[in-house]
Amino acid sequence: MTLKFENCYAKLGDRFSVAMGPDPLSNPKAVITNAALLKSLRLDNYSHDDLLGLFSGHQIPKSASPLAMVYAGHQFGGYSPQLGDGRGVLIGQVRDTENKLIDLHLKGAGKTPFSRMGDGRAVLRSCIREFLASEALFHLGIPTTRALAITTGDEQVRRETIENASLLMRASDSHIRFGSFEYFSYTDQHTELKQLCDYTIETHFPELKNSDKPYDALLFAASEKTGNLIAHWQAFGFAHGVMNTDNMSIIGQTFDYGPYGFMENYDPYYICNHSDDQGRYAFNRQPEMGRWNCQALSQALAPLTTPDVLEKALNCYEETFLSCYHGLMTKKLGFSTSKPEDKALYEDLLDLLEGYGIDYTIFFRSLSQYCAGKDFHSLLSNQNSAVSFAPWFDRYNKRLQMDILSETDRHKQMCSTNPKFILRNYLAQKAIQNSEAGDHSELHRLYDILKSPYNEQLDQEQYAQETPDWGQNLQISCSS
């Protein structure tokens, strides 16, 4: 395989990673491949056997420089001084068709020096969940890493049950985490901390290179991107589940999918990770945890930044989050411009959705077809809520009259903002169960639907319906 790698991260040296290749899967079999991403990475001209060799760890190009990255992180608030890639290997970095440098990372690649007590493997269900979720978020317009391919094999590993080891090839602009900076800061490797910051600026924020205070500027940029990311999570009802600093991307992408979940019936206290006994990463706490993580990053960068930067960075995060979230929510309501008083309108709506247990995604999609001043009862799954909703619709209709969008343009904007299809946990579970039995057709079908979340797809209506009773309380953990 003649794929050309650049390996800029590997050139940082052995303080930043351990050079090592993946442990290949035995008897590998392809599960699913992202054809569009293959093309953008110039991989579409390689044979099936070549790609299977790459994605299963059997055929690593000579120009690659595979490695396991070192980092630390705050996990559920407690600091772990050394974590690192315990089951993943950064194969190397390639240029896509837009000349952007992209990491190719093989998740489940076997034991590394950072595996601790783990076996270094991923399993099919965790690979499928990350593949579907990362691609679902990408097509919704939410910043995220992406999934390139899943491969499974004959090797068996023990989780709650015996499962087959599998690999996920992930593509991302960066695998640098908040915890990467914490590791070098708290081990007093300040030369390496500066080296990592310089690399991050050069590679991901080149516009900051000529700044008078480049490390302050890096912190502001990371805080801004994090605020933007979490605003998108909140507006689309997405819960990450494990917002530890080692799972937070320095470039503001959704990263390290584990026990995530799209909220179904609106519940601000929704906890998608059944291991999160205290609700630290509940849906309504994500903005607060984003701020907490930016504070942790600020403290890690303190050896290089100015003394007053912390407060400014946190203000940057908060202002970005509030502005972005407000803009997204007013757009979801169909307004061409946002007004400060719109905040009360969507907050009161959310209270109503919570009070009556109404599906968040379905309601907003139905609202996208609403004709101003007309009867609203058909939008409500719970007709007992109509009396409570009536005053809100009176306010909403008055606000619509103040907007310049025609009804046709409003419907178009709302349908491009409020998805019809999201990745509900029960849909992912059905695809996983079929794939574990050797039938990947449901996985491929669901993936195709999630690539067009704003389209009607009339032949796939069942995938846009409310979650059945059996799928309401599926429990997802960090186990992979």
Residue numbers annotated as active site: 246
Residues contacting 211, CB < 8 A, separation 6+: 217
Task: Give dist(CA 147, CA 30) in Å, integer.
Answer: 14
- Structural contact between residues 442 and 395, judged by C-beta atoms closer than 8 angstroms: no
Task: Give dist(CA 102, CA 174) in Å, integer.
Answer: 7
Task: Give dist(CA 280, CA 164) in Å, integer.
Answer: 32
Task: Give dist(CA 9, CA 361) in Å, integer.
Answer: 40
Angle at alpha carbon of residue 473, lines to 468 and 476, rounded to 5°: 125
What tokens appear for 79 in the block?
A: 């600091």
Task: Give dist(CA 256, CA 191) in Å, integer.
Answer: 28
Task: Give dist(CA 395, CA 215) in Å, integer.
Answer: 46
Residue carrying the six token digits 């040296």: 13
8-state DSSP, 259: S
For 209, counting Cβ atoms within 10 Å of its Cβ (0-12 exposed, 13-18 middle, 19+ buried), the class is exposed
- Structural contact between residues 294 and 312, judged by C-beta atoms closer than 8 angstroms: no
